[in-house]
Structures are given as structure tokens and as C-alpha cells.
Structure 1
Amino acid sequence: MKNTDLTARTSVAISVSEAIRRTTNWREFMNVNLQGTNENMVPKAVYMSRADILAMADALKDPSVVGARAYFSLDSTEAEAEKNVVTFCMVMVRSCEDKRCGKDVIYLPNSTDGENGSIDDSGIYDYTRPCPDFCDIDSPLYRGEHP
């Protein structure tokens, strides 16, 4: 299996119209698959502070860490019925010979055992704050309407 270049840039600038189209597609997809769900409950975005982004960049100074991966997460299925609380669990990704897409850094290096569930041993972070609490609800990416 050929390894993917995990150090290559993954960002691509897209037009506002394309971004609106994609975010609208996401909301429509979620509405179809979550039939009967209030539109305000559909996960739209999460906010990450500058401080958290810079801390992540600091973690990326380790040359074996080649990127980050975000997993959708939900603290409680009951809470989701009341308020949109979808967030991302972020992990650093280390290059790995036998894994084409890299290996999640679940436990911090030099942790004593990494299995006791202590937050001190975790390499997993929740940097995010969900919409609508921390989103620009007037944004065309949030609403799907071009300005």
C-alpha cells in the first residue's frame, strides 16, 4: 500500500459560492438523514480559538507529527435532543510506515502507562465550541444564502 504524503498542504482556496454550495449540501444531507430533527439542531460548524490553533502548531514542531485529525463527537445523545452540542475531538497524526493515512497520537509520549484514562495521558483535545453559540448566524455559510 502506497503511503500518502501526509506533509503536503491539504488546504485549497474555494470561492464563496462553492463554500455556500458545500455547506448547504451538508445541511440538506443531515436533514434528510435526521428526518424530523429541528433545523437548528443540525451541526453546522465549530469555533476554534487562535490560542488553541497556536498550541496545536506548537505540538506540530515534533517532526514525526505531520498533521491533525478531527473526529465528530457528541457528549450526550440526550443533550443533542435539546441543544446542538456536536464538537470535534482533535488528535495529532504521526507518520507511520504501515498506515497510509498516519497514526492518531492517542496517548502522549512518555506517559506512564497511557491506559489509565487520565487526561494527563491523553493526546486528544476538544478545541471546539459548537454553533450556534459560537457561530456567525448571519454568515451565508451558516444560512446558505449568498450575500
Structure 2
Amino acid sequence: MASKNQLPTETRVIIPIPEAIERTTNWRNFMKSKTAEADDKMIPKAVYISKQDIMSMAKQCEADESIAGVRAYFTLNDEFSEQFKNEVTFLMVLVRASDVKPFGEDILYIGDDGKVNTVAGNSNVYDYTTPCPDVCDVTSPLFTGIERK
């Protein structure tokens, strides 16, 4: 039986800097349009993920050949508010290739032995992210929307 797995094996796309600036500017403009008199400092712009956290997930991927990749879910730590900074983060979860689920299966639970189980407290969902603007390069054209030459 042929695999029904439709997960891409590689998703890396190199984005030209002008396009990256345009896309991040589009995001900020979209967020401003959704909030009343949005203070630019309150608009989530990016998330930071440390090298150590990336390497930790890579190690898990290398240890289990059934893992196809990682899925990142957008989250808000609290209910949306126009008065407070809304911290957008990503919840990261490993994804296993599946013949019955064409876009893979989130591995939500994993035990200390590395085997999947559903025991409460054995979550395999991680928040490795630190939201910007708290830890951003505020001079980056991706942050400001202005390319310096």
C-alpha cells in the first residue's frame, strides 16, 4: 500500500531581504488594523528560539526516524486585549509521519523512555519561544520595516 503521507520533506525557502521586509511590514500593518490606536510596542513582531532549544528538538528528530518534522502553533498567553501587550508565542510539537493522516500526527505525549504514551504530565509540547519586542534586534529592517543601505 502506498503511503498517504503528504508532509513536505523540506520546507526551507530563502526569502530575499526586500520581500522579507515587505512580509514583516504586512504583518505589523495587519495587526495595527485589528487594534484600536495600536501602540507599536504592543504588536507582536517575532519570537526568539535559542540554539540550545533548536538542537534539543533536532536531537529528538535524529533519534526517531518516524519523526517527519516539527509543527509550530501560534498562541496567545492570555486572552487578547487592546490595553496590554499580547505575547504571541509558538507551541512546538514533533510530528510523526503517518499513512492514515496525510499531514502527519502531532506527538503530544512522550515518556522519559522516549516512547509515546498518554500519561498526564508527559507532554511533548514545548514553548521554546521568547516573544518580541522584548528580545528583538530593534534595529533590524525586519523589525522596523526600513532597509538600511
TM-score w.r.t. length of structure 2: 0.85
Residue matched to 1:39 = 40
Residue matched to 1:50 = 51
State the number of aligned residues.
Answer: 142
| SS of 1:87 mapped into structure 2 | strand
| Contact map agreement 2:76 2:86 (CA 8 A) in 1 | no
Equivalent position amino acid for 2:94 in 1: M
| SS of 2:97 mapped into structure 1 | strand
Alignment partners' CA distance in 2, 1:80 and 1:58: 39
| Contact map agreement 2:73 2:92 (CA 8 A) in 1 | yes
| SS of 1:51 mapped into structure 2 | helix
Alignment of 1:124-135 (within 5 A): 124-135=125-136
Residue matched to 2:68 = 66
Give the C-alpha shift of residue 79 in structure 1.
7.7
1:92 aligns with 2:94: yes
| Contact map agreement 1:84 1:130 (CA 8 A) in 2 | no
Bigger strand share: 1
Q: What whole-Å deviation, never above 9, does each CA across 1:56-114 have from its counterpart, x for those lacking one?
A: 10010111111001111122227884234221100001101121211111111546643
Bigger helix share: 1
| Contact map agreement 1:140 1:146 (CA 8 A) in 2 | yes
TM-score w.r.t. length of structure 1: 0.86
Please list every run of 5 or more consecutive structure 1 residues that lacks an aligned counterpart in the other structure.
Answer: none
Equivalent position amino acid for 2:55 in 1: L
| SS of 2:103 mapped into structure 1 | strand
Q: Percent identity?
A: 45
Which runs of 4 or more aligned residues in structure 1 lie more than 3 Å from their structure 2 counterparts after TM superposition?
Answer: 78-81, 109-113
Give the C-alpha shift of residue 5 in structure 1.
3.8
Residue matched to 1:105 = 107
